[in-house]
Structure 1
């Protein structure tokens, strides 16, 4: 059957709340500044919705978690429904599981035969709440029960009288204090004037409500059948028309049929609600109850303490899911695995900038002692660390991400703050790898790709690998002095031809295509000297485009390392287009000079491609003026004059055979 083109022929709109003419609603101008009283109904309303209801052992585990979180009112059972439910209430009371400041609530229909057993289950607890309910909307009155309004009122008041009598008797017997919680089941579908009239009659029949011992009225949106603002109107009307308002607690109980239970609860509080009833993660029949985690953390993100502790939210979520045999969607508010994760490049860039700006702002608060460390972050309304999460999941990288995502991961894993143009260059590497494997690039994969790309390893990765080097200051005449133990210059704004105080000679041992070679070059500073060596000995002519420097672990001088980033290009290639004739290199070392030299080799490895290097130079080595015993055949060579070429001496006769003797001709 297709959807109707005119659904008004089948579905009726909600009825407006009959406020007097020119009435100004109060709830739109209010804001929540204090937390409500929370009632968890996970063990009853949530449990009855499960395919496989919880065992009493599982319910006990969840009850302990609810106490740990901070709930002071917990609906624990429907004692008249089964012996198992009854025994659970008795067990937690008799075994001392109920703290003195926690109230137990049980639910019972307005039936005399079930009320007595329900009240008896609570004997001996410090404070108990009787949740007495019956459906009062027209469809239930006329179709389900076939009662008139008058008959519905009579049934309700008779039940209230019985509850009053039995609770007073139980109080005299065991000392348990009881509170009446009368629930207008299907409140959201009931005429608002009728609920007010019935509520006033309940108050009168109970007869002992006071500011110190209030009656609770449960305004249940058993079926969410209208917008949240309509529910707020109903709550405000009830709140402003019920008698003895200071002796009444209005309890908000939205369901999620329209997907707006949280909004209805928030507006219901603005409209006069004092208490919220719901379940963790919104478990419940059909689409569920209001989610208490979402509601509480919404308040928390606005600076209102909810009085509930979700500091270990992941553990709480895992426990609730296990007890209820349910799963939480990855995008579920606050509790989902991906709710604090950004994959889009623009989002990642904003988050990365936000984290950097906030770190600076918070550091200034620490330094000056003024201001507060307020949270202000693009896309993330609440600090994940408050819920027991870290920041490692904030930015997730895929082929659809941008440069900021990969740069953020490198900053988190290696504490390297990549220059902006280098971020662009490295993300091309990450994107290609992500497309190749068809999966998300995890932090481990990104870090591995970074080290591989920039040859950051103690063993050769690329065609060039720097083993060791020495730098010698050269005198104006060209002579060299002793090697420098450490020499550093400011590379942050290095440009070709920059003037340094002295000329340096670089002599380095490299592995080049698997073979060790020594190269040598001169220049003003270590970078220009090693570039001269690459040009002179390998035929590799490179130009400097941009550079930057960083220090990591600055708070630990013994472990401080210098980091050099340098962009280089081949001759004739315009700088500024990473991947098109230019490439970045990275060097990390405890010595500044070494970090610079390594950065040059790192960039060179990406630019050499498959080009051939110059062969090693043939260096002339003068023949030694010392003769060894390997030349003994010379002893028998005679000159024309009759003299031997080799002149024996007294020393030779006494020295070992391998002794070097000056050659005499």
Structure 2
């Protein structure tokens, strides 16, 4: 990796200290959101969306709540042009939604863009030209003055054509490759464009500061943004916008720090789909606000459906660990994590908690359309007793004693490890039933009768043992003690009853009861059994029979 020596830091620090953003703790309100899925996102696809797919996606974006949507580069291709015309001619743009189109600062492209916009109720015309040192020197081979003039001439033509075209238009300008441009020069170009547009309170201009390529740490970008915010002309009538890409994996951080630095608007895509490593992921950005108790002004309450439609029309895949949206982002396989989550959820059930503070879950999965049972606690060989016990309780109503939960946890871990696969709740339940519940071989309970005399109980058990049915009688200090003595007499199995717990499986007078019994066969271990029956007495006897049967088999 010695080739690192051929790289240098290709960004520029503002000429003055700009770090007021450091004093701000968090982003306390939602920015204006602009989706560029249909332009930036679409041009990154191996197979761009068809007209019908674009219309489907546009409807999704409006349903989510986007009020500004960049719909394409109408001068770039016939599909882009046709899509914009379809939106306008078929009156598909809601009255509260503004579409945005992109154009280079080139005369024939600007003119075709306005041809496509004729009759549009509300549109943002986004003008750009590259201003970076590398682009000036290597691509355009033009001076600073010449590059500035390209921007000014483009702005003048925009203003002229807007006056001549039927529709309502707002202007946006981007010094493309802003992050590779000297901040003083980027400011000079933007102010020259603003002098052409002359923004007013009723017709503000958007100055967009794109991270066309990420070149620095996010705090450098924040300082660049703050510098622009402090020195742009007509500042009260200018909307500072950000368009971060994700080359260094810092798109979200760039956006959040840029908002702290004074920006008011964000351009990005759902799931971060865009060129190279993508644009900023607007879902992550919005949900980060949500997780801090800030209304993001976008509706992501059904992320699974949004993911499904996105994958369908873009042919892209939402990663399993994609923040907030991936299939596994809430999943806990680790035993300690599962235990903490289970206890946190139990605590919420038992207390009035005004805020969501469950360990390992930054937000409530249900808020984005996910389920605790299928999305949070996932069982494999890394899982522990807490998660396994939680699944049994939430799905099937079984609240195992602590030590039994531990024993069953090891059983499940061993089976998962042996099968080398995740175990689903239904599989775990079946293993639980087969291992512990209503075990009827070699002992099987046919009937029982109790007679109480003072503190003593006498029981007559009708049992089948190794295929032979017989009655066995015994006494004890309680019903279960009497049954235990009878089973010892019948089987010759010497054990100590160590644990007994019971609870209802369902609510209501006709609910079944479940009992759990742990016995020590004399070697210091505990053998567990469970019994399920409509009658609690029968349930307790069956649980003990189940435990003795497991002892006899072992």
- Residue in structure 2 matched with residue 379 of structure 1 by the alignment: 360
Summarize the Cα distance change of 1:97–1:80 in structure 2 as closer, same or farther, 3 Å threshold: same
After superposition, the C-alpha distances for 1:288-333 in whole angstroms (9 at most, x for unaligned) are 0000111111111111111111111011011112211111221111
- Residue in structure 2 matched with residue 642 of structure 1 by the alignment: none
Summarize the Cα distance change of 1:461–1:183 in structure 2 as closer, same or farther, 3 Å threshold: farther
Q: 2: CA distance between counterparts of 1:18 and 1:80?
A: 35
Superposition deviation, residue 139 in structure 1: 0.9
Q: 2: CA distance between counterparts of 1:149 and 1:28?
A: 35
Larger radius of gyration: 1
> Is 1:562 matched with 2:544?
no
SS at match of 1:121: helix
Query: Structure 2: where are the runs of 5+ without partners?
Result: none
After superposition, the C-alpha distances for 1:567-599 in whole angstroms (9 at most, x for unaligned) are 1111x333xxxxx3x212222333221221122
Q: 1: CA distance between counterparts of 2:241 and 2:442?
A: 73
For the aligned residue pairs, the C-alpha RMSD in angstroms reads 1.7
Superposition deviation, residue 437 in structure 1: 1.5
Q: Is the 8 A contact 1:221 1:253 kept in 2?
A: yes
Q: Is the 8 A contact 1:27 1:232 kept in 2?
A: no
Superposition deviation, residue 344 in structure 1: 1.1
Q: 2: CA distance between counterparts of 1:144 and 1:86?
A: 27
Q: 2: CA distance between counterparts of 1:130 and 1:467?
A: 84
Q: 2: CA distance between counterparts of 1:527 and 1:343?
A: 38
Q: Name which of 430, 436, 445 aligns with 2:418.
A: 436
- Residue in structure 1 matched with residue 472 of structure 2 by the alignment: 519
The 5-angstrom pairing of residues 172-571 of structure 1 reads 174=166, 176-207=167-198, 209-361=199-351, 365=352, 373-392=354-373, 393-456=375-438, 461-474=440-453, 501-553=454-506, 556-570=507-521
Q: Is the 8 A contact 1:567 1:585 kept in 2?
A: yes
Superposition deviation, residue 444 in structure 1: 1.3
Q: Name which of 147, 150, 153 aligns with 1:155.
A: 150
Q: RCO greater where, 1 or 2, for CA within 8 Å and sep 6 or more? A: 2
Q: Is the 8 A contact 2:14 2:224 kept in 1?
A: no
- Residue in structure 1 matched with residue 535 of structure 2 by the alignment: 591
How does the TM-score come out when normalised to structure 2?
Answer: 0.96
Q: 2: CA distance between counterparts of 1:58 and 1:24?
A: 44
After superposition, the C-alpha distances for 1:87-123 in whole angstroms (9 at most, x for unaligned) are 1111112222111000000111111101111122222
Q: 2: CA distance between counterparts of 1:214 and 1:268?
A: 20
Q: Is the 8 A contact 2:531 2:542 kept in 1?
A: yes
Q: Is the 8 A contact 1:504 1:526 kept in 2?
A: yes
Q: 2: CA distance between counterparts of 1:105 and 1:559?
A: 63
Summarize the Cα distance change of 1:388–1:515 in structure 2 as closer, same or farther, 3 Å threshold: farther
How does the TM-score come out when normalised to structure 1?
Answer: 0.81
After superposition, the C-alpha distances for 1:262-304 in whole angstroms (9 at most, x for unaligned) are 1111111111111111111110111000001111111111111
Q: 1: CA distance between counterparts of 2:299 and 2:471?
A: 64
Aligned residue pairs, count:
553
Query: Structure 1: where are the runs of 5+ without partners?
Result: 366-371, 475-500, 575-579, 611-665
Q: Is the 8 A contact 1:27 1:236 kept in 2?
A: no
The answer to which structure has the higher helix fraction is 2
SS at match of 1:237: helix
The 5-angstrom pairing of residues 597-612 of structure 1 reads 597-609=541-553
Superposition deviation, residue 57 in structure 1: 0.6
Superposition deviation, residue 210 in structure 1: 1.6
Q: Is the 8 A contact 1:73 1:105 kept in 2?
A: yes
> Is 1:58 matched with 2:53?
yes
SS at match of 1:608: helix
Q: Which moved more, 1:588-597 or 1:108-117?
A: 588-597
Superposition deviation, residue 27 in structure 1: 4.0
